[in-house]
Amino acid sequence: MIQPRVAAPAATTTSSTAAAATSPTASAASFAGVLGQATAAGATPTAAPVAAGGTGVGAQMVAIAQAEVGQTEQPPGSNDSPRIAEYRSATAGSGVGPWCNYFVSWAAKQAGAPLGEQGQGFGAVAATWDWAQRTGRAMQPTAKPNPGDLVVWDGRHIGMVESVLPDGRIQTIEGNSSNMVTRRVHSADGDGATGFVRMS
């Protein structure tokens, strides 16, 4: 089993690069808003304790993801690094490419709750959402997520809920966000997220 690494300093960048797979009809501007304006009003993502309601698998996933914050692509824009190759190993048959879903698949596998009916993990965000719908894990964006739940933006990007802040905003840890594993803060509905995937 790949062991999570010691936590790196929290990333505070709010620049927008969405190196996730993009659907032909997706609006680049609206998706850039999800990543780039997620920390609107000057709020800087910070390390947060696991919020109430995060237990079991969800709490384990958050702890695992927290230890990965700051991992970056080498070189930037390559969708690769030795660590990202380890994330990729949690998915069946995946190659170098957009890796946000590799990251959450890896974290879930490390926590003992791999994604997929056979625990195969997923390279594509849409495949994770389809699995969530098939298995009753899909939640509407109006639902309140638990720490460790996944947040999905169409078939383009996926992250993990780290905590729900006192004002209802959602702090996430996301792979392949600004070419790294980073923290973001989104509105209560995930800044227009498709929905959440219940993991705990």
pLDDT of 7: 41
pLDDT of 200: 80
Q: Is 33 exposed, middle or buried (0-12, 13-18, 19+ CB in 10 A)?
A: middle
pLDDT of 55: 59
pLDDT of 33: 43
Q: What is the torsional sign of CA 68, 56, 147, 110?
A: positive
What is the residue-level pLDDT of the chain in tens, covering all 200 positions? 444 444 433 333 333 333 333 333 333 334 444 444 444 333 444 444 434 444 599 999 999 999 999 999 999 999 999 999 999 999 988 899 999 999 999 999 999 999 999 999 999 999 999 999 999 999 999 999 999 999 999 999 999 999 999 999 999 999 999 999 999 999 999 999 999 999 98
One-letter amino acid of 25 = T
pLDDT of 93: 84
pTM of the model: 0.77
| Distant-in-sequence, close-in-space partners of 63: CB < 8 Å, separation ≥ 6 | 4, 50
- In whole angstroms, what is the distance from residue 110 CA to residue 79 CA? 21
